[in-house]
Amino acid sequence: MTLAMQWRMALRLLWREARSGELTLILAALLLAVTSATAISLFSSRLDLAMQARSNDLLGADLRLQSTTELPPQWQQQAEQLGLKTATTTHFSSMILAGDEMALAAVKVVGENYPLRSKLTLENPQGGEPLAQTSGPAAGEVWAEPRLLALLNASVGDVLEVGRSQLRLSGVIAEESDRGGGFYSFSPRLLMNAADLPGSGLTDAGSRIRWRLLLVGEQDALQQFQQQLTLEPNQRWQSLEDSSEAVASRLAKARRYLGLAALLAVVLASVAVAISAQRYAMRHYDISALMRTFGLSRQQVFRIYAFQLLQLGVLATVAGLLLASALQAGLLAILGDLVPDPLPAAPLSAWLLGASSGLLTLLGFALPYIMPLARVTPLRVLRRDITPVPLAGWLITAVALLALTLLLWLFTGDLALSAGVMGGGSVLLLVMLVGLHGLIRVLRRQLAGRNLPLVWRFAWQHISRNSRQSAGQILAFSLTMMVMLLIGTLRTDLLADWQASMPADAPNVFTINLQPYELEDFRTALAQQDIRAQKLYPTVPGRLLSINGEPLEGEAAEDSSVNRDLVLTADTELPASNTVVAGDWAAQQQPGQLSIEERLAGRLGVELGDVLSFRAAGVDFSATVSSIRTVDWGSMQPNFFMIFSPDVLDGLPANYLTSFYLPPGQQTALTALIRQFPAATFMDVRAILGQIQTLLEQVTLAIELILLFVLLAALLVMLASLVAALPERLREGAVLRTLGGSSALLRRSQIGEFTLLGLAAVLLALLGTELVRYVLYHTLLDIPWYSLGWIWLWLPPLAVLLLAVPGMLLLRRTTQVAPLRVLRELAE
């Protein structure tokens, strides 16, 4: 028989079995595997692209190069030759004059291509929606933030003095999404045209200017451009993580969650395929024996079934891709304005991942069970008790784990995460399986001879008769509930963690450069405006000189966190967003002590007991590291790399920093504060907080959508497990009724069996979930862990109900159909 004939025979068998319903369950499992994998891949990639694009609004580009010296013009030309869009901006601080008034402004000079990614809007003079801008101010004009206008008593149409230039104020900035910068460098923004810079005199020798090159384009081109350049120590690449710790930390957690949710959905779909394939193979022993009787060799039988699997995989893949596409379009239509518009198109890799998931699932989870069909002996035609020797259990497990690890790696792009999850998950499942098998055998011996009620005796005998099969079934149910618990509680806890770090009354205005003599007046002014005062931190700009007497060298000297003036503070009270991970914070009460941020300590190689030397205001001083802290940079609270004991900064000229929450509609209160304390700098970060909140809403939406597919995959595993054991249950029910058992007794024993299975599965799931959550929360997501609490009380009865209802529906034939008919159907 040629390969073409074997292919056609496989196709005919596939069509016949599809019509007879033989492939219904495995096709459904494959369909859901492909559909869920594709849909999750598409949603993850599209929403990730949307969130990344929205996040890049904060950066102003896909990638940004910053320098304290002017960038070579040829760099911009090189970038454009690679197909990248470019724009340049120049940043510096300057005093701005309007008549007799003056104020310090953060000036940004923009070229003709600005903005690239950022969102730039001006206030509408008619009071409507802000006006979106596709370019910066025209030559001879400037735009300014409302804060600057309040300081200058200026309005649109006035002439402002910027250096030696006089420029007309033509617009008020409503939103500048790439405002960025650290909290200690904010001043009111002034936006001007690059054509006005040469004549302003602002770039003369001695000016402190930062030049930026903004880049937008394909990732490959961006990487190629980065590789072409050799940067000086005063030049560095900036990404979203450098631009906004608050956004970056939340996006990192969101990506981890989406990857984990996708991973678990694929695991469940694969388990459903394995259960279905095992049942399918057992029901085809007779057909394989007939093929061998008619003269087909083992290789030919194997190829027929392999071709059949391939055809089934292609069919499920095509149908799954179409279904995922339609489902995605329908959900987008229903969700309407809740998703970013327009949503970026999914990359080809997302479609290929969905397409490969079905074939990889078949290869790893179905093929090992199909392979023994080629070894069925022709003698089975006469003796149906002869079954082929299955593949070794370790080999089936190894192939499945290898395929799943490969699939998860393609899904997450993180080989370490995939291998870690598979390794840890495999060990956990093995322990659970062996423990269940042993527990059932121990209970069987202990309960032997006990006078149990008849209903519970039948239920227990069915479970204990084949402890390995029962343990596998309980494990499948518990795995399903574990996944649902994990995804559900992780979703809730992740959102709660975001809300806790970004409460409704999170500080949205930061004040720096407050002088010591202004502190009491400032507190009084806040109280008069009904604004709750926050802690005031003394700050001194200083530079790190040496560690244990050794000057900074190599990577430490080039670290962007220390090769500049640091904002140093002193305090004996640990900030709320900080946690001591090494040392003792109480040492801050002693003289000459220092607490350092953990990641900076790691980069500098600083340990407890090291002596760090600094220079501030021309004074050199040293302090001993007595504690190391983690800092939640996304908390929107004042945070510091270095916190000294109060004595260290005594005698140094310090100003003060604080933050407070300004309720909506109190812009006049902020204006009054700006006027009352003109030397202080007020940084209004409400726009940034609004952008972060929008990002979190998009992340939440992605989580809700992916949770739906995970739950569908979990339900399919439960259904596959029930259907796989259906023939045996039908046979036992028919025999019991033949021997005189009533339908009521049969139903009660089935309910008892599902109750025992459900209770065992849910208790195992709860224990496993507690363990997995503890590991995930402390290692992957970095959020506080807590016990499941009340879930231990209400989930067991709910799980029994969810298991018993579909189980009783599937077994209703045992009480509604004559026993003889059921036995004949099973024998066919």
Task: Give the pLDDT mean for 152-172.
Answer: 90
For 204, the 3-state DSSP assignment is coil
Inside any domain, residue 422: yes
Task: Give the pLDDT mean for 262-284.
Answer: 72
**Do residues 382 and 291 make contact, with C-beta atoms less than 8 angstroms apart?**
no
148: its two tokens: 């600057």
Q: Are residues 255 and 199 in the same domain?
A: no
602 has a pLDDT exceeding 80: yes
Q: What is the distance between the alpha carbons of residues 359 and 318, in angstroms, rounded to a whole number?
A: 11
Specify the pLDDT at position 689.
62
**Do residues 608 and 583 make contact, with C-beta atoms less than 8 angstroms apart?**
yes
Q: What is the distance between the alpha carbons of residues 643 and 568, in angstroms, rounded to a whole number?
A: 6
Q: Phi and psi dihedrals of 237, rounded to 5?
A: -80, 145
Q: Are residues 454 and 555 in the same domain?
A: no
Q: What is the distance between the alpha carbons of residues 233 and 194, in angstroms, rounded to a whole number?
A: 26
Q: What is the distance between the alpha carbons of residues 201 and 198, in angstroms, rounded to a whole number?
A: 7
Inside any domain, residue 187: yes
Within a 10 A sphere around the Cβ of 385, how many other Cβ atoms? Answer: 5
* Most confidently predicted of 210-224, 380-394, 702-716: 210-224
Higher pLDDT, 686 or 753: 753
Q: Are residues 29 and 74 in the same domain?
A: no
Q: Phi and psi dihedrals of 314, rounded to 5?
A: -65, -45
Q: What is the distance between the alpha carbons of residues 648 and 617, in angstroms, rounded to a whole number?
A: 13
Strands 578-583 and 655-660: unpaired
Inside any domain, residue 258: yes
Q: Are residues 308 and 336 in the same domain?
A: yes
Q: What is the distance between the alpha carbons of residues 432 and 765, in angstroms, rounded to a whole number?
A: 10
Within a 10 A sphere around the Cβ of 574, how many other Cβ atoms? Answer: 16
Q: How confident is the model at residue 240 (pLDDT cuts 50, 70, 90)?
A: low
Residue with tokens 């070229």: 111
Higher pLDDT, 641 or 478: 641
803: its two tokens: 């298991």
DSSP, residue by residue, 476-515: HHHHHHHHHHHHHHHHHHHHHHHHHHS-TT---EEEEEE-
Q: How far is CA 437 from the centre of its chain?
A: 36
Residue with tokens 């080989």: 415
Q: How confident is the model at residue 206 (pLDDT cuts 50, 70, 90)?
A: very low
694 has a pLDDT exceeding 70: no
Within a 10 A sphere around the Cβ of 581, how many other Cβ atoms? Answer: 11
**Do residues 313 and 404 make contact, with C-beta atoms less than 8 angstroms apart?**
no
The sign of the torsion formed by the CA atoms of 462, 464, 467, 473 equals positive
- Domain end marker among 606, 638, 660: 660
4 has a pLDDT exceeding 60: yes
Residue with tokens 């013009």: 73
Range of the domain at 202: 70-231
The answer, yes or no, to whether the previous bond of 115 is cis (omega within 30 of 0) is: yes
**Do residues 539 and 656 make contact, with C-beta atoms less than 8 angstroms apart?**
yes
Inside any domain, residue 36: yes
Q: What is the distance between the alpha carbons of residues 186 and 183, in angstroms, rounded to a whole number?
A: 6
Beta bridge partners, 334, equal: none
Beta bridge partners, 644, equal: 570, 594
The DSSP element (H or E) to which 766 belongs, if any, is helix 743-779
Q: Are residues 485 and 548 in the same domain?
A: no
Q: Are residues 344 and 416 in the same domain?
A: yes
DSSP, residue by residue, 536-593: -EEEEEEEEEEETTEEP-HHHHH-TTTSS-EEEEE-SS--TTEEEEEE-GGGGGSTTE
Specify the pLDDT at position 337.
47
Q: What is the distance between the alpha carbons of residues 426 and 397, in angstroms, rounded to a whole number?
A: 9
For residue 158, give the nearest of 168, 146, 147 by alpha carbon: 168
Q: How confident is the model at residue 184 (pLDDT cuts 50, 70, 90)?
A: very low
21: exposed, middle or buried (Cβ count in 10 Å: 0-12, 13-18, 19+): exposed
Least confident residue range of 341-355, 511-525, 763-777, 782-796: 341-355
* For helices 686-724 and 791-810, angle between their N-to-C axes, nearest 10 degrees: 40
Inside any domain, residue 171: yes
76 has a pLDDT exceeding 70: yes
Specify the pLDDT at position 239.
63
Specify the pLDDT at position 24.
67
Q: Are residues 83 and 149 in the same domain?
A: yes
Specify the pLDDT at position 182.
44
787: its two tokens: 């016990």
For 131, the 3-state DSSP assignment is strand
The sign of the torsion formed by the CA atoms of 52, 54, 56, 62 equals positive
Q: What is the distance between the alpha carbons of residues 625 and 611, in angstroms, rounded to a whole number?
A: 6
DSSP E strand boundaries for 331-386: none
DSSP, residue by residue, 47-66: HHHHHHHHHHHHHTSSEEEE
**Do residues 189 and 173 make contact, with C-beta atoms less than 8 angstroms apart?**
yes
Task: Give the pLDDT mean for 231-240.
Answer: 73
How many Cα atoms are found within 13 Å in the side-chain-facing hemisphere of 472?
Answer: 13
DSSP, residue by residue, 270-319: HHHHHHHHHHHHHTTHHHHHHHHHTT--HHHHHHHHHHHHHHHHHHHHHH
DSSP, residue by residue, 655-666: EEEEEE---TT-
Backbone angle region of 541, left / alpha / beta, with phi > 0 → left and psi within -120 to 50 → alpha? beta
Q: How far is CA 286 from the centre of its chain?
A: 48
Inside any domain, residue 542: yes
487: its two tokens: 């995804």
The DSSP element (H or E) to which 595 belongs, if any, is strand 593-597
Inside any domain, residue 373: yes
Within a 10 A sphere around the Cβ of 168, how many other Cβ atoms? Answer: 14
745: exposed, middle or buried (Cβ count in 10 Å: 0-12, 13-18, 19+): middle
Mean pLDDT (the chain, rounded): 77
pLDDT digits (tens, 9 = 90+) for 148-161: 888 788 889 999 98
Q: Are residues 455 and 538 in the same domain?
A: no
Q: Are residues 147 and 44 in the same domain?
A: no
Percent with pLDDT over 90 in the chain:
9
For residue 458, give the nearest of 739, 827, 717 by alpha carbon: 739
How many domains does the chain fold into? 3
**Do residues 103 and 189 make contact, with C-beta atoms less than 8 angstroms apart?**
no
Higher pLDDT, 494 or 695: 494
Q: Please list, in sequence order, all residues whose beta carbon lies within 8 angstroms of the beta carbon of residue 305, skipping any fewer than 6 positions away.
A: 10, 284, 288, 370, 373, 374
Q: Are residues 22 and 84 in the same domain?
A: no
30: its two tokens: 């494959």
Task: Give the pLDDT mean for 592-609.
Answer: 89
pLDDT digits (tens, 9 = 90+) for 297-336: 888 888 888 888 888 888 888 888 888 787 666 656 654 4
Q: What is the distance between the alpha carbons of residues 430 and 397, in angstroms, rounded to a whole number?
A: 11
Higher pLDDT, 809 or 517: 517
Q: How far is CA 773 from the centre of its chain?
A: 15
329: its two tokens: 């379009």
Radius of gyration of the chain measured on its C-alpha atoms: 34
Least confident residue range of 520-529, 762-771, 812-821: 812-821
Task: Give the pLDDT mean for 248-260.
Answer: 60
Q: How confident is the model at residue 627 (pLDDT cuts 50, 70, 90)?
A: very high
- Domain end marker among 203, 231, 259: 231
Residue with tokens 């005199």: 201
pLDDT digits (tens, 9 = 90+) for 776-813: 777 766 677 778 888 888 888 888 887 777 777 777 76
Task: Give the pLDDT mean for 249-259.
Answer: 60
Higher pLDDT, 207 or 348: 348
Task: Give the pLDDT mean for 357-376.
Answer: 77
Within a 10 A sphere around the Cβ of 626, how many other Cβ atoms? Answer: 22
Q: Are residues 542 and 496 in the same domain?
A: no
Q: What is the distance between the alpha carbons of residues 657 and 534, in angstroms, rounded to a whole number?
A: 10
C-alpha triplet 711, 713, 716: angle, nearest 5°: 110
- Alpha-carbon distances of 241 from 365, 500, 543, 576, 782, rounded to whole Å: 40, 21, 23, 22, 17
Q: How confident is the model at residue 185 (pLDDT cuts 50, 70, 90)?
A: very low
Q: What is the distance between the alpha carbons of residues 184 and 106, in angstroms, rounded to a whole number?
A: 12
For 322, the 3-state DSSP assignment is helix
Inside any domain, residue 445: yes
The sign of the torsion formed by the CA atoms of 283, 287, 289, 291 equals negative
66: its two tokens: 């910053």
The DSSP element (H or E) to which 792 belongs, if any, is helix 791-810
- Domain end marker among 615, 639, 660: 660
Higher pLDDT, 522 or 61: 522
Task: Give the pLDDT mean for 401-427.
Answer: 70
Q: What is the distance between the alpha carbons of residues 369 and 386, in angstroms, rounded to a whole number?
A: 17
**Do residues 722 and 472 make contact, with C-beta atoms less than 8 angstroms apart?**
no
Q: Are residues 470 and 322 in the same domain?
A: yes
